[in-house]
Amino acid sequence: MPKLTRDILDIADNLDVGSIQANPILDIAARFWEQDRYAAFRVCYLTMRWIDDLVDDVRKETGSVPAAAANRLRSTLIDWLGSVKRGEKDGYFHHRILEVIRYYAIPIWPWERLCKAMVYDLNHNGFSSFRRFLIYAEGAAVAPAAVFLHLCGVEVRGDICGPPSFDIRNAARALARFCYLVHILRDFQKDHLENLNYFADNHLAEYSLTPADLRLIAEGGQIPQAFRNLIRRYVDYAGYYRGLARKTIDGISPHLQHRYQLSLEIIYGMYLQVFERIDPEKGGFSREQLTPSAPQVHERVMRIVLDFAGNR
C-alpha cells in the first residue's frame, strides 16, 4: 500500500468521533494535509472566525447593531486590516498571520472581502434580494474557501511558494455557494433563535412570510406550506451550485496533489451528507434533524477516504 494511502487512512481512522460533529468541515478536511500546512490553515481560519464572530456576537443579541457599537466595530475591522496590510507585528496573533500570508504568498483580498461583508452586517439584518445575498457571500463564504483552495494549490519549493495554477476566486465560488446555502438551511433554527436571517426579503414577500414567521417556526411552531415552498426554493439553489461545485472540483483536481484532492472531496461529501437530509415537502427543520450524528459523520468521512484510496 502506498505511504500516502496509509497516512490518510490512519488520519481518518483516528479522527475523534466524540468531537467530530462540533468541528468545522473545513478543519476536518484540512487535517489530511501535512502538519505545517494544516497549521497555516488554522491560523487563517482563526483570524477569519474572529472577524465573523466580532460582528455576529453583537447581532445575536437583538438582530441589529446600535450605531455606536457599529462605528466601533467598523473601526476595529478597518484598523486590523490596515495593520495586516502594513505588516505590523502587533502581538503573537498578528505575527503568525503575517508569517503565513507571506510564506504561502496568500493574497490579502479574502480578508478585505470578509471585512466588507461584516461591515454590511453592521447595517443590515438580511438581504433585499438573492443577488444581494450572493454579493455578501463573496466575503462571508467565497473568501474563506479561496484561502483554503490557495493552500491546496500553492507549490512549496524550499523557501519559495509558487501560486496555484488556477484562479482561486473562480474555483472557490461554486463550492462556497453550495456549502454556504447548505449551512444556512441546516442552521435555520439556530440562526433565527439568535436573530440572524439569511433569506432574501423578496423571497419572503413572494411566499407571504416575515422574519417573525420564521422565528415562530424556529421556536417549534407549525410549519406552513409557504415555508416549505421557501425551503424548496433554496434547496433548488443549493442543488444548482452543487452541480457547479462538482464540475469545479473535477476541473482543478488534476492540478493538486492527492491529499489536497481528498480534502476537497471531504468538504463536498460532508456538505452533501447534510444536503441529503433536507426534505422540503415532509421533513422537519430543527438543527437536530438536519445535522448528522458524530458516528454518521465519521462513517461518511471513512467512506470518502476509502473510495478515494481505491481510485488511486
Structure confidence at residue 312 (pLDDT): 62
C-alpha cell at 121: 452586517
CATH of the domain at 278: 1.10.600.10
Ranges of residues in the chain with a pLDDT under 50 are 1
Q: Report H helices in 104-167.
A: 109-123, 130-137, 143-153
- Matching residue, cell 463573496: 138
Query: With b meaning 16 or more CB within 10 Å and e meaning fewer, what string describes 114-146?
Result: bbbbbbbbbeebbbeebebbbebbbbbbbbbbb
Q: Alpha-carbon distance 59 to 65, whole Å?
A: 6
Residue 148 identity = F
Cα distance between the two ends of the chain: 11
Structure confidence at residue 186 (pLDDT): 97
Q: What total number of domains does the chain contain? A: 1
The enclosing H or E element of 197 equals: none
Mean pLDDT of the chain: 91
Structure confidence at residue 13 (pLDDT): 67
- Cα R_g (the chain), whole angstroms: 20
Domain hosting 128: range is: 3-310
The enclosing H or E element of 156 equals: strand 155-157
**Strands 160-162 and 155-157, bridge-based pairing:** antiparallel
Structure confidence at residue 22 (pLDDT): 67
C-alpha cell at 142: 467565497
The enclosing H or E element of 234 equals: helix 225-252
